[in-house]
């Protein structure tokens, strides 16, 4: 009896999990499907699940905009912002994790609190600053902004990972004659590498998906893929198929990337929670 | 090998003094054990010597040179950590090589040294294993090996055996002792286990709340505890302590003390004891004899048979519990009334402040010490 009820419960959980997963995945699936529809099919009600697929939307998208220009911008900006963020946050997290002062905790919370401020709240000052420094519509401008907005998250994550490293191992390194630099590069970094990797991955994804600043601070030269999608959005939901095709093109790289690295990501995001 | 001198070392942390002035001279090749209950400051003191904690006041000298502000690695010390603290991403060879590589030693010499140490510690078959693949005892050996390859002036051990099970701990204790004899290195060893302290130390430093309670050889501490704290801490099962009242000082070097139900004369050199003053009588379980004519009576509550010896937990008429050690062939069972004699020459007497009164007899092994 007990055995059957356990089986039933497992089955129920499996069905529920699949249901939730499909429910969350459905918009993406729908977007991909719509990209292969003709424009009339795309907006028909009731919606068509079966249709004759066409790649005309993709052809139109490629004809109208230079996809590779936007894609290159996305890759360069996300990668650079992530690299710089790690360069800044590894030493910061090291100091906070291993040399904490009486105000470390407050500093960490304050950093996190900056993420709670809506971006639009600082739009005007940031825009004016970017204009004054000539960083409007430049990759450098976006790299700086992305790096700064992600710093609280990268510092927090690395701080959590570093805290898991036993202090005694670093002290052993110090006793063995390691300088601070050698202690970090030869003892701490190899130990925390999985954590640093997941932090980098998360930062990449956040940068790739960032829309607000890219729309407001770039127009053409430095515009990443999020701007590319936005350029296909039109009022009254016209050209829905083309918008879907453009969106698919924009999210495909990061989805493939996330798929490949999901093991690392899951480990990173649940680190410390499950032991 | 080296001498280490602590001159009034102090450590203050967040306005609280944790080490309250410790002075000690450690001779070359000496095996010193810091022992005390948790929180007594023994690990902090070791870490101050290692250079992992700042010294708030006082001087630390190694071979006569002040090293307060010297980097840990430049003090010429090697430390074995309680958690072993091996580098998990390096194999056994690399773990031992790390310090030599940082010191810029040529490859051939490194290989030679590590080979020698691995042979001493029987680690040859595991040189390419990662720490995660080793058992607790093997990890311990790697940690010791990592310390030995550096050929340090002083070895520091921070509770190195506390993560091992009892059998392995006994074995490693013997190995460490023979290793010390072989290397002849000055060693400072921290433990909370008084058995480790007794068996390995040349001299023991008993610490309590950041203060040295007593420094001495194991037998000195056992037979001549300076105060109640040391008397309680050293010895297992611990010394029996009974509150007593001074009855009268008998002129020829002895004093009579009593409780409501017993009266003992204890030889002492102390003079000027006031009748009626409170004191504490201390007697070790092996110094109470079962004696049908004995003056002290009690009832056995529990009898613990350890094989070689039997420990009788006896309730005295005033309700106090004492432990009596007898032979393993003792047949007395619980609830049996017995009579005992306290061997007077082995009794300790502590005054109201817990300080031991001067003894007039001494243990034969301590003669001249």
Looking at chain B, which residue has its C-alpha nearest residue A101?
B14
> B270 with B200, same domain?
no
Query: Is there a domain that residue A70 lies in?
Result: yes
> B170 with B228, same domain?
yes
**Chain centroid, CA B31 distance in Å:** 11
Query: Is there a domain that residue A10 lies in?
Result: no
Average pLDDT over residues B119-127: 91
Q: What pLDDT score does B345 carry?
A: 86
Q: What pLDDT score does A2 carry?
A: 60
A vs B, Cβ pairs < 8 A, gives: 56
DSSP string, B327-368: ETT----TT-EEEEEE-GGG-EEE-TTSBBPPBSS--GGGTT
CATH of the domain at B184: 3.40.50.300
Burial, B108: exposed, middle or buried (Cβ in 10 Å; 0-12, 13-18, 19+)? Answer: exposed
Domain span at B200:
4-232
Exposure on the CB side of residue B201, measured as CA atoms within 13 A? 28
Find the largest Cα–Cα distance for chain A.
Answer: 74
Tokens of B62: 């190694």
B117 band by pLDDT with thresholds 50, 70 and 90: very high
Are B258 and B247 spatial neighbours (Cβ–Cβ below 8 Å)? yes
Average pLDDT over residues A129-142: 91
Write down which residue in B198, B214, B232 finishes a domain: B232
Beta bridge partners of B302: B313
Q: What pLDDT score does A155 carry?
A: 95
DSSP 8-state class, residue B273: P
> B293 with B326, same domain?
yes
| Whether B99 and A169 lie within 8 Å, measured CB to CB | no
Find the largest Cα–Cα distance for chain B.
Answer: 76
Task: For residues B27 and A187, give the distance between their C-alpha atoms in angstroms, rounded to a whole number.
Answer: 35
> B24 with B132, same domain?
yes
> B246 with B198, same domain?
no
Neighbours of B154 (CB within 10 A): 25
Q: What pLDDT score does B276 carry?
A: 84
Compute the Cα dihedral for B14, B17, B23, B25 and give only its sign: negative
Average pLDDT over residues A53-59: 86
Contacts of B87 in chain A (CB under 8 A): 169, 172-173, 187, 191
pLDDT digits (tens, 9 = 90+) for B7-25: 999 999 888 999 999 999 9
Q: What is the dihedral of CA B76, B82, B83, B85, to 10 degrees?
A: 0
| Whether B102 and A174 lie within 8 Å, measured CB to CB | no
Tokens of A70: 């936007």
Query: Is there a domain that residue A125 lies in?
Result: yes
Min CA distance, B86 vs chain A (Å)? 6
Which of B52, B87, B99 faces A177 most closely, judged by CB atoms? B99
Q: What pLDDT score does A259 carry?
A: 85
Min CA distance, A71 vs chain B (Å)? 37
Average pLDDT, chain A: 87
Asked if the C-beta of A169 comes within 8 angstroms of chain B's C-beta atoms, the answer is yes
> B216 with B356, same domain?
no
CATH of the domain at A114: 1.10.3720.10
Average pLDDT over residues A247-274: 75
Number of domains in chain B: 2
Average pLDDT over residues A229-256: 83
Domain span at A134:
66-231
Min CA distance, A258 vs chain B (Å)? 27
Residues of chain B in Cβ contact (below 8 Å) with chain A = 50-52, 72-74, 77-79, 81-83, 85-89, 98-99, 102-103, 146, 150
**Chain centroid, CA A20 distance in Å:** 22
A275 band by pLDDT with thresholds 50, 70 and 90: very low
Contacts of A177 in chain B (CB under 8 A): 73-74, 99, 102-103
Q: Which of A28-42, A84-98, B71-85, B221-235 has the lowest mean pLDDT?
A: A28-42
Write down which residue in B193, B213, B232 finishes a domain: B232
Is the confidence at residue B1, as pLDDT, over 70? no
| Whether A176 and B81 lie within 8 Å, measured CB to CB | no
> B96 with B190, same domain?
yes
Give the H/E segment covering residue B302: strand B296-305
Asked if the C-beta of A177 comes within 8 angstroms of chain B's C-beta atoms, the answer is yes
Q: What pLDDT score does A157 carry?
A: 92
Q: Where are the alpha helices (DSSP H) in chain B?
A: 42-50, 92-102, 107-120, 136-148, 166-183, 194-200, 218-223, 228-233
pLDDT digits (tens, 9 = 90+) for B270-319: 777 788 889 999 999 999 999 999 889 999 999 999 999 999 999 999 88
Burial, B202: exposed, middle or buried (Cβ in 10 Å; 0-12, 13-18, 19+)? Answer: middle
Tokens of B3: 């001498």
Which of A177, A182, A187 faces B87 most closely, judged by CB atoms? A187
Q: Which of A199-203, A239-243, B136-140 has the lowest mean pLDDT?
A: A239-243
pLDDT digits (tens, 9 = 90+) for B23-79: 999 999 999 999 999 889 999 999 999 999 999 999 999 999 999 999 998 898 999
Write down which residue in B211, B232, B253 finishes a domain: B232
Q: What pLDDT score does B368 carry?
A: 56
Q: What pLDDT score does A272 carry?
A: 44
Q: What pLDDT score does A23 carry?
A: 94
Radius of gyration of chain B (CA): 24
> B172 with B252, same domain?
no
> B20 with B127, same domain?
yes
Query: Is there a domain that residue A243 lies in?
Result: no
Looking at chain A, which residue has its C-alpha nearest residue B74?
A177
Q: What pLDDT score does A47 carry?
A: 79
Is the confidence at residue A80, as pLDDT, over 70? yes
CATH of the domain at B297: 2.40.50.100
Average pLDDT over residues B343-366: 84
**Chain centroid, CA B256 distance in Å:** 32
Q: What pLDDT score does A86 carry?
A: 95
Neighbours of B296 (CB within 10 A): 22
Q: What pLDDT score does A96 carry?
A: 94
> B250 with B219, same domain?
no
Query: Is there a domain that residue A266 lies in?
Result: no
Q: What is the dihedral of CA A154, A159, A165, A166, to 10 degrees?
A: 170
Task: For residues A184 and A93, give the distance between their C-alpha atoms in angstroms, rounded to a whole number.
Answer: 11
Q: In which order are the strands placed within the sheet that holds B4-13? A: B16-26, B4-13, B57-62, B65-66
Exposure on the CB side of residue B138, measured as CA atoms within 13 A? 15
Is the confidence at residue A251, as pLDDT, over 70? yes
| Whether A166 and B85 lie within 8 Å, measured CB to CB | yes
Is the confidence at residue A274, as pLDDT, over 60? no
> B144 with B259, same domain?
no
Cα distances (Å, whole numbers) of residue B7 to B23, B57, B64, B70 = 5, 9, 11, 16
pLDDT digits (tens, 9 = 90+) for B94-116: 999 999 999 999 999 999 999 99
A270 band by pLDDT with thresholds 50, 70 and 90: low
Strands B321-327 and B254-258: unpaired
Query: Is there a domain that residue A28 lies in?
Result: no
Are B217 and B209 spatial neighbours (Cβ–Cβ below 8 Å)? no
Number of domains in chain A: 1
Is the confidence at residue A273, as pLDDT, over 50? no
Q: Which of B215, B261, B255 is nearest to B23 (CA)?
A: B215
> B144 with B22, same domain?
yes
């Amino acid at each position: 009896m007990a055995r059957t009820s356990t089986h039933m419960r497992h089955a129920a959980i499996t069905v529920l999990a699949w249901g939730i997963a499909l429910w969350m995945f459905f918009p993406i699936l729908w977007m991909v499907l719509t990209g292969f529809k003709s424009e009339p099919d795309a907006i028909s009600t009731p919606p068509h699940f079966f249709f004759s697929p066409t790649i005309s939307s993709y052809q139109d998208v490629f004809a109208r905009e230079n996809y590779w220009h936007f894609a290159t911008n996305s890759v360069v900006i996300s990668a650079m912002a992530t690299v710089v963020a790690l360069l800044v946050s590894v030493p910061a997290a090291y100091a906070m994790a291993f040399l904490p002062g009486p105000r470390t905790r407050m500093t960490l919370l304050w950093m996190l609190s900056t993420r709670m401020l809506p971006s639009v709240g600082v739009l005007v000052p940031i825009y004016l600053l970017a204009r004054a420094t000539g960083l409007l519509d430049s990759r450098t401008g976006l790299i700086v902004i992305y790096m700064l907005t992600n710093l609280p998250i990268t510092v927090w994550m690395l701080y959590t990972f570093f805290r898991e490293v036993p202090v005694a191992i670093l002290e052993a390194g110090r006793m063995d004659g390691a300088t601070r630099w050698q202690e970090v590069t030869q003892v701490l970094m190899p130990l925390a590498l999985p954590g640093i990797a997941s932090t980098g991955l998360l930062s990449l994804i956040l940068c790739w998906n960032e829309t607000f600043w890219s729309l407001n601070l770039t127009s053409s030269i430095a515009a990443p893929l999020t701007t590319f999608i936005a350029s296909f959005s039109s009022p009254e939901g016209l050209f829905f198929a083309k918008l879907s095709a453009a969106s698919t093109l924009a999210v495909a790289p990061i989805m493939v990337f996330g798929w490949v690295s999901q093991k690392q990501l899951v480990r990173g995001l649940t680190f410390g929670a499950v032991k | 090998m080296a001498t280490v001198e602590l001159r009034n070392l102090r450590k203050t942390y967040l306005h609280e003094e944790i080490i309250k002035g410790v002075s000690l001279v450690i001779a070359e090749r000496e095996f010193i054990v810091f022992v005390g209950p948790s929180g007594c400051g023994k690990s902090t003191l070791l870490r101050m010597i290692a250079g992992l904690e700042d010294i708030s006041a006082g001087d630390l000298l190694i071979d006569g040179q002040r090293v307060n502000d010297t980097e840990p690695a430049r003090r010429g010390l090697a430390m074995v950590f309680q958690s072993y603290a091996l580098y998990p991403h390096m194999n056994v060879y690399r773990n031992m090589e790390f310090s030599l590589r940082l010191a810029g030693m040529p490859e051939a010499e490194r290989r030679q040294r590590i080979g020698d140490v691995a042979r001493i510690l029987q680690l040859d078959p595991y040189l390419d294993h990662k720490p995660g693949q080793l058992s607790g005892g093997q990890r311990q050996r790697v940690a010791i090996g990592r310390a030995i390859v550096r050929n340090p002036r002083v070895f520091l051990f921070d509770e190195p055996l506390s993560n091992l099970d009892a059998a392995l701990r006994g074995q490693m204790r013997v190995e460490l002792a023979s290793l010390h004899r072989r290397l002849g290195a000055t060693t400072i060893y921290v433990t909370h286990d008084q058995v480790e302290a007794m068996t390995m130390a040349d001299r023991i430093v008993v610490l309590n709340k950041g203060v040295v309670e007593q420094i001495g050889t194991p037998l000195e501490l056992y037979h001549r505890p300076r105060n109640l704290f040391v008397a309680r801490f050293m010895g297992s099962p611990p010394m029996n302590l009974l509150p007593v009242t001074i009855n009268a000082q008998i002129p020829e070097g002895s004093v009579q003390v009593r409780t409501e139900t017993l009266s003992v004369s204890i030889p002492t050199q102390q003079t000027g004891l006031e009748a009626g003053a409170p004191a504490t009588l201390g007697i070790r379980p092996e110094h109470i004899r079962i004696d049908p004519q004995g003056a002290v009576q009690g009832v056995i509550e529990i009898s613990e048979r350890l094989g070689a010896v039997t420990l009788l937990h006896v309730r005295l008429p005033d309700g106090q519990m004492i432990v009596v050690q007898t032979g393993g062939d003792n047949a007395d069972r619980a609830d049996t009334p017995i009579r005992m004699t306290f061997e007077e020459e082995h009794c300790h007497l502590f005054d109201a402040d817990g300080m031991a009164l001067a003894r007039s007899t001494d243990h034969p092994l301590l003669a001249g010490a």
